Structure 1
């Protein structure tokens, strides 16, 4: 199954990209890096530049129909940029409209808030997003991983890099039901 990993050109928390990427690939799926611009995306280790990664597809040319699921890595700048890009927001919304599994970690739920897909859902995130999620009609919980929904229409969320093991496991479980 092709799994989209959506990031901005800069600001993605590298470990929140690379650990789920490895988990997806190790499970036999095909991770695909989607960004708002062609070229490479700049990973970060908190505020320090880390590695760069080649973009496989540009979000304006991509469609949720071409994938089986979506991963939204965090980092503060990454989702803040994505939520201001109409093409990225529409891409994310397309996964929910298609009932496909979505996973978001740390600050990534900001993009979900902008796509207006958290209403009636329970999720977790970096604590500073708590009010944004509640104002968007979601229920925020402080848990290592939160799984909302079942089968293909599953939303998996986590708070921070320390939660990556649980996040990856829950997402792979969701893919098993997709």
Structure 2
């Protein structure tokens, strides 16, 4: 499936949104982000660990649909990270695959990127469903914060010190969390609203 989409002028024109991707992604969610954010004018970059390759074609979890990523999440400098309006960790098995590290004493590259994003308050962090797995090695990022996640991860969230809230989408400052992949449309809408509102405040 082609990753090319046409951007339209919209409230998010000129902004960039990063979405992490790997095999066993939830197709309805990833393809929705690809088009929904573009509909608002935002450029969407799908980032992954490329393992020295120019690109990797992943397969989805539900329908085995292909999706090719050619942007590396490794080597992203602070300026490039701050250029993103949001960094999204999607549902499915993406987070579980991206949290793999060869050295158990070193954070996986995707986890390290998420940790750095949490140090940038201007970057909205979006974590939905099993995406919370990626934050399991950096529990301080969600400790004391209100979050929602898949029911299977409630114990993980509480062990991380997070405050579970029984809502479909929860916003706590620069962190947006969603219940399941099936709630991706509600999750994306809230992210769009928050980015647009933030741009409006900066323009005042």
TM-score bracket relative to the smaller structure? 0.7 to 0.9
Q: Give the match's secondary structure for 2:44.
A: strand
Shift of 1:171: 0.7
Name the structure 2 match of 1:87: 109
Give unmatched runs, 5+ long, in structure 1.
none
Residues 16 and 105 in structure 1, CA contact (< 8 A), matched pair in contact too = no
In 2, Cα distance between equivalents of 1:129 and 1:162? 16
In 2, Cα distance between equivalents of 1:159 and 1:23? 19
**Structure in which a larger fraction of residues adopt strand:** 1
- Give the alignment's TM-score, normalised by structure 2: 0.76
Residues 6 and 35 in structure 1, CA contact (< 8 A), matched pair in contact too = yes
In 2, Cα distance between equivalents of 1:124 and 1:41? 30
- Give the alignment's TM-score, normalised by structure 1: 0.87
Shift of 1:162: 2.7
Compute the RMSD of aligned alpha carbons: 1.7
Asked whether 1:115 is paired with 2:138, we answer: yes
In our comparison, the structure showing a higher alpha carbon Rg is 2
Name the structure 2 match of 1:142: 166
Name the structure 2 match of 1:52: 67
In 2, Cα distance between equivalents of 1:88 and 1:173? 26
In 1, Cα distance between equivalents of 2:183 and 2:119? 27
Residues 13 and 43 in structure 1, CA contact (< 8 A), matched pair in contact too = no
Residues 7 and 41 in structure 1, CA contact (< 8 A), matched pair in contact too = no
Name the structure 2 match of 1:12: 25
Give unmatched runs, 5+ long, in structure 2.
1-14, 102-107, 200-204
Shift of 1:159: 1.5
Name the structure 2 match of 1:96: 118
Q: How many residues align?
A: 170
Shift of 1:118: 0.9
Asked whether 1:163 is paired with 2:183, we answer: yes
Runs of 4+ in 1 over 3 A off after TM superposition: none
1:71 alignment partner, one of 88, 96, 104: 88
